[in-house]
Structure 1
């Protein structure tokens, strides 16, 4: 087998499995560990993967890797839609209440379902607070919803409103339910996101709400990104689309987190 052909296969394996080890690749291709390391160096230079101790990981599994909002809107749409539908069931239909919608593609799908929200009884109200420009734009079309958008600066990559002003406003609030997104959910590290300023806002959201519901599709499970914004015990419920791994499931149970499979 030519080196180029082998390297192409290694790149495909890393993309499919997210992580490979030197020993696995040496056994798979019947080559020495030194040859594997040379292949990984070539692939890292061409940005097909990132070398780590003992092997390599996919580029999109790096702690600061963060696709744009447009990229994420095309990823795992069906799974996120099911999660959003399950989240909608957690919003009381016949009472006056308040919720926070964090920025993110899954919370935006939840906002899509709120476009048809109407009060079950006359006088019932729903206040939606958000730091996401796309969510605010959509929900402004529903006159039955009271909408409050948080102030601060806009982070272009995610269209999220962030900064000290944002967190200060959240510190003065006590909404009924917060729906928060995450880039990683891990047994030991908790809930995380790649960007520190968005992490600060997420932490403030978690701290502010009476009940916190995390929305994370199964590709986020057992993943760690750069900044932890909440421990598992800070979250009341996790809605995802597939059962967590045994290790994560045990940690969620120990932290008294309700897991909802959508």
Structure 2
């Protein structure tokens, strides 16, 4: 595991548990205590956690930092691939309609959809330039790219035109990515325009499936776009804290662990 990925998981664990211990983290990630102390020092400088004697506690600030599309694709790539494969089981029946947002895990799912025998029979709506191009290049004909402005950092289409179009649509299943997921504030992201598109997809879908790798659990971003009660299914990876999984299931959310 790369240091960046380990630090993201440590940040998530700290957010979920409230406090983490150097010794326990060293055992969990099979590294030395000194390596964990360096990780915590980096996270503390970035304002993600607060160092305390023997470990760290969660920061209460809302995050606003966004990363480039390339960086997001490389982050937790193995987990995202596993999550995307697992999400195939949530696809609707033949002839169904699908919303795909601009999340990188959702993009990974879209690539797998192109390999499915029934792919050409689904009606797919997306606000992701990458996803729309990939689906079209694979020969899928029932693909609609929402119109509007394009955010360069995520290559996502946003704005009033896209929202007006979505208001007229209904999806059997919405596959939604998120920057963060907490029990109190639900799903959140950094940009209000992308949040608005995600919220519209959630509102207008019969079933909402969230693709969320474990490094995002317990974190909070600036703009909330859906509450816990709006979610039907969460697909995450084996790094997800058991306490968080149990809390979601207690709220009648179907949590699926991708392997």
TM-score > 0.5 by shorter chain = yes
The one of 168, 171, 186 equivalent to 1:172 is: 168
Unmatched 5+ residue regions in structure 1? 1-12, 26-42
Matches within 5 A, 1:83-122: 83-92=83-92, 95-119=94-118
Matches within 5 A, 1:182-221: 182-221=178-217
Structure 2: how far apart are the matches of 1:226 and 1:157? 17
Write out per-residue CA displacement over residues 169-211 of structure 1, whole angstroms, 9 at most, x where no aligned residue: 1111111100000111111111111111111111111001011
Structure 1: how far apart are the matches of 2:234 and 2:49? 30
Q: Under a length normalisation based on structure 2, what TM-score does the superposition of the two structures give?
A: 0.76
Deviant stretches of 4+, over 6 Å: 13-16, 51-59
Q: Is the 8 A contact 2:177 2:212 kept in 1?
A: yes
Q: Is the 8 A contact 1:118 1:144 kept in 2?
A: no
1:64 partnered with 2:64: yes
Query: Residues 227 and 252 (structure 1 numbering): CA distance in 2 closer, same or farther, change over 3 Å?
Result: same
Aligned Cα root-mean-square deviation (Å): 3.1
Unmatched 5+ residue regions in structure 2? 1-5, 23-40
Higher Rg of the two aligned structures? 1
Q: How many residues align?
A: 224
Q: Is the 8 A contact 1:106 1:215 kept in 2?
A: yes
State the Cα distance separating 1:86 from its structure 2 match. 0.8
Query: Residues 16 and 82 (structure 1 numbering): CA distance in 2 closer, same or farther, change over 3 Å?
Result: closer
State the Cα distance separating 1:16 from its structure 2 match. 7.7
State the Cα distance separating 1:131 from its structure 2 match. 0.1
State the Cα distance separating 1:242 from its structure 2 match. 2.3
Structure 1: how far apart are the matches of 2:231 and 2:86? 16
Correspondence for 2:81: 81
Q: Is the 8 A contact 1:50 1:57 kept in 2?
A: no
Q: Is the 8 A contact 1:14 1:49 kept in 2?
A: no
Matches within 5 A, 1:120-135: 125-135=121-131
Instruction: Give SS of 2:138's match.
Output: coil
